[in-house]
Structure 1
């Protein structure tokens, strides 16, 4: 019986080893399944991250293109503003020149108006003097000088002395006409 007991013991040991191996295989299989699930989860996460990175890189490219476009527009607008500033500066210079010329012309007009008023004032004074002198001369002409009554003026005397006619304008010269028959 020893052989039988030995075989039984060996058989029990074999069954026990097989059961242990099956249990170990089962534990290893679960561990492998767990690791496989973790690997698949990690791979899915990695694929998702790759997709996210691709999306971000596309978004970065799109944003970079927009930035480049905006930079280009800004540069164009800055060039246009530069041109407009140059034109504005030229117009400002023209406006300043016009204002300066208006100021000069205003000064010239003021000087001419002052000169005109001075001339008009002087003209008025001169006109008054001349009017007074003319009135005085008219009055002198109207008042006949007593000397003129005694002047004997003939045409020959008036030719020799033209001042007599100026002093005595009332003197009438008689012209002697001799008629030959």
Structure 2
């Protein structure tokens, strides 16, 4: 009986050992399954990170292209501003020349206006003198009524005609 009890003890030990091994294998399978899931999750994360990196790379390329386009536009605008500045400088020079010309013309106009006012002043004097002379002619001296101006008197005294023009008789010889 001792053999039988040993045998059953051995059998129990073997069953217990087998159960332990099955439990151990099951534990290891669970561990492998968990590790496999973690590896797959990590690979998915790596693939996702690779896609993110590719997307960021594409975004960087797109942004760089936009920067290049903006730089190109800035250069074009700077060239255009340079052209406009040179045109502005030319126009400023023309404006300055016109302003200088205007100042010179203003000086000339002032001189002409002054000359005109002087001429008008002289004209006024002449008109006054002419009017005075006309007045003198119209207002002849009462002596002229008694003077008989003949051609002989005119030859001796030519101013008599001016003094008493209405009484002068032109005698044809």
Farther-moved stretch of structure 1 (117-126 vs 99-108): 99-108
User: Where in structure 2 are there 5+ consecutive unaligned residues?
Assistant: 162-167
TM-score normalised per structure 2: 0.77
Structure-1 residue corresponding to 2:121 = 121
Structure 2 residue 38 is the aligned partner of structure 1 residue 7 = no
The runs of 4+ residues in structure 1 deviating greater than 4 Å are 133-140, 167-175
User: Where in structure 1 are there 5+ consecutive unaligned residues?
Assistant: 154-161, 176-181
Structure-2 residue corresponding to 1:143 = 144
What CA distance in whole angstroms lies between the structure 2 residues aligned with 1:91 and 1:19? Answer: 104
Structure-1 residue corresponding to 2:17 = 17
What CA distance in whole angstroms lies between the structure 1 residues aligned with 2:159 and 2:35? Answer: 153
CA RMSD, aligned part only? 3.2
Matches within 5 A, 1:1-181: 1-133=1-133, 136=136, 139=140, 143=144, 164=156, 166=158
What CA distance in whole angstroms lies between the structure 2 residues aligned with 1:100 and 1:6? Answer: 134
Equivalent pairs, count: 165
What CA distance in whole angstroms lies between the structure 2 residues aligned with 1:171 and 1:43? Answer: 145
CA distance 1:5–1:174, change in 2 (3 Å): closer
What CA distance in whole angstroms lies between the structure 2 residues aligned with 1:172 and 1:9? Answer: 192
TM-score normalised per structure 1: 0.74
1:89 counterpart SS class: helix
